[in-house]
Structure 1
Amino acid sequence: MNTRILTTLAVGGLLTATAACGAQSLDAGDSGDSGAAASAPAVVLDQAPAEEKAADVINAITPDQELAAKAPASLKSGGLKVVSSIGYPPMELYASDGKTPIGFDPALARAIARKLGVKVTITDEEFNSQIPGVLTGRYDFVISSMSDTPERQGQVTFVDYVQAGAALLVKKGNSAGITGPGDLCGKTVSVVDNGSSMELAESYDADCKKGGKPAADILKFPGDTEAMLQVSNGRAQASVTDYVVAAYKAADPKLDMEAISLDGTASPWGIGMKPDNKQLVDSVKGALDSLIKSGEYGGLLKAWNLDALAVESAVVNGGK
């Protein structure tokens, strides 16, 4: 959807991965040419942050030597450059230090990097800046709870990594009596600008108008946190968002919110890359398939209680 790494964060928002004690070398256990190995420095793989729920799974991932050999040279020399939008839990959030990203998307980015035997850096950008950043070559890929849609496929090539649906987030007690899209007519709804949730909200608004009912007032914001704040402060009666995020928020008693699942909204979320970078697309697809086959992908999902989002294989541009 929106809808939005890696162990050390620079002040300007740039996240740079660093090697922790016990980090694994790509050359470990290599039985190849010892002379060649000696001439090239070992790649020390990044360790996951301590507060990352999937840290144990990530840190146990070893490079797939065949995939690593076929990875783009730019990844081997400069690392994997990733963009995301932090602040969309449980997909992307900060650890208690307010700087270190954790969550499923950062976990998968780390896992892919380790599977390819490369280091990784991630920049936190607002949602609308992510695809342009990939197209200009500033980033290798975006992983930010982004729905794989035909429209976006005209800009980037996706490798789909989860299947997720949408939901409404309302105040606990639901005094506005909202149970589904039909109840949004005449109500104020907050969304992330230019995401699939905005498209859903606009379609619900169109249905209201077609049915001769009052239009929905749609408030658009650059990030999910700002959109959900409108429900908390009473400016909006509901926020359209991803179900995983709504459920995560509803589980926090301090937020005093409820999640309402929207049937028929499940769609793939993808890792977006520049279409002409086929070598990178193949590398990311291969890494994800390897993680799925090994069970490591399932371990990442389980750590964040997201088992229901699992895909059986890495599909390219599966959004319809």
Structure 2
Amino acid sequence: MTATLARHTVAAALTLSSALVLAACANPSDGGTTEVAATKGSTTKINLSPDQNRVTTGKVDSIAAEVPERIRKRGTLEIVASSGSAAPLNFHATDNRTVIGVEPDIAHLVADVLGLEPHITTVSWENIFVGLDSGKYDAGFSNVTDTEERKEKYDFATYREDNLGFEAKKGSGLKVRGPADVAGRTVAVSSGTNQEKLLIEWSKENEKAGRKPVDIKYYQNDSDTYLALRSGRIDLYLGPNPTAAYHAATTGRTEVVGTYSGAGASLQGLIAATTKKDSGLVQPLADALNEVIRNGTYAKVLERWGLSDEAVSKSEINPPGLPRSNK
């Protein structure tokens, strides 16, 4: 799959989840592992322990020289990520301390190319942007979607496709293909995300069409959300498709009943490294990402976490993103 911003119909953009399939839950007897789909028809065992053996790559002097001098002198790349547990994107290893997942793995690869020591700090979602604004952090690697609104304050270097997943209690019989399928439904979503933006737009669209609005619910953490889903207090949970598929497969209690591009029906959503606008860092980030795409280490990281279907062919700087009005 590529990062080309292809146009899609609603039917093409919204399909049953196939990006991530897990074959088994973590196995404590072998240090904490699980199996994920690497490519169609094959699986790979991933490591959930703190001893990650991450994929690495070498420094590229010409790209490292592009990094602003203040960061080069410091010698570290200050990376910020969400403290919320969202496997396989960003979560804690079996020691409940070490941050692992596809996001930190990609951040480490970028730091390798730039010749910098990666220093990852986890904070609440809203504090990712507060920290970038203040200059406390250099870059966010936390499943951040490229959006037109965010581009007013931030620069983006894309590195993964962004797809959302609707998760329901297993056996619910629900299928989500568009706004009409969530009319009158109780749907949980995280505040301040592009998922929330999409859901609000769909609710408004339902009202304009004479259908019931969406009953949108917010919970403090994922455990509360999933408890509400299991108990029937909510019908659906809308979140990143990789985390929805991971949770559904590892627990066996839920299922993904529809997916949707994170940028709406007409545009493929993209996940991006996020920096403060005009910080001077977005170009070296994009060049570093294109280097790891070229040398194959990027593909190894995605395969390791079962996310090969979300690969992009190149990193782009500030491409068209989620529109302000997202339908």
TM-score range, shorter chain: 0.7 to 0.9
C-alpha distance 267-137 of structure 1, shift in aligned 2 (>3 A): same
Q: Which residue in the other structure is 1:44 paired with?
A: none
Distance 1:163 1:100 in 2: 25
Unaligned runs of at least 5 residues, structure 2: 1-46, 322-327
Q: TM-score, normalised by structure 1?
A: 0.78
1:75 aligns with 2:77: no
- Residue number among 103, 125, 137 corresponding to 2:135 in the alignment: 137
Cα separation, partners in 2 of 1:168 and 1:50, compared to 1, 3 Å: closer
Tell me what 2:272 maps to. 270
Q: Give the secondary-structure state (helix, strand or coil) at the position aligned to 1:271.
A: strand
Matches within 5 A, 1:152-167: 152-167=150-165
Which of 239, 254, 257 is the aligned partner of 1:257? 254
SS of equivalent to 2:218: strand
Partner-residue secondary structure (3-state), 1:285:
helix
Distance in 2 between residues matched to 1:226 and 1:83, nearest whole Å: 24
Residue 308 of structure 1 corresponds to: 309
User: Which position in structure 2 is the counterpart of 1:30?
Assistant: none
Instruction: Provide the rounded CA distance (Å) in 1 between the counterparts of 2:221 and 2:154.
Output: 21
Q: Measure, in 2, the Cα distance between the counterparts of 1:129 and 1:204.
A: 27
Q: Pick 1 or 2: higher relative contact order, CA cutoff 8 A, min separation 6.
A: 2
User: Paired residues, what number?
Assistant: 267
Q: Which amino acid aligns with 2:142?
A: S
Greater gyration radius: 1
Q: 1:184 aligns with which of 182, 185, 194?
A: 182
Structure-1 separation of matches of 2:207 and 2:276: 38
Structure 1 counterpart SS, 2:106:
helix
1:232 corresponds to: 230
Q: TM-score, normalised by structure 2?
A: 0.76
Give identity over the alignment, percent: 26
TM-superposed CA distance for 1:50, in Å, is 7.8
- Asked if 2 retains the 8 angstrom alpha-carbon contact of 1:54 and 1:303, the reply is no
Q: Residue 217 of structure 1 corresponds to which residue in structure 2?
A: 215
**Unaligned 5+ runs, structure 1:** 1-48
Q: Are the equivalent residues in 2 in contact too, given 1:92–1:102 (CA < 8 A)?
A: yes
Aligned pairs (5 A) from 1:88-99: 88-99=86-97
- More deviation in 211-220 or 290-299? 211-220
CA distance in structure 2 between the aligned counterparts of 1:259 and 1:303, rounded to whole angstroms:
21
CA gap 1:229/1:126 in 2 versus in 1, 3 angstroms: farther
Instruction: Answer whether contact 1:250 1:257 (CA < 8 A) is retained.
Output: yes
CA change 1:158–1:52 in 2 (3 A) is farther
Name the aligned partner's letter for residue 68 of structure 1. Answer: A
- Contact kept? 1:52, 1:103, Cα under 8 Å: no
Judging changes above 3 Å, is the alpha-carbon distance between structure 1 residues 111 and 190 closer, same or farther for their aligned structure 2 residues?
same
Change (3 A) 1:159 1:57: same
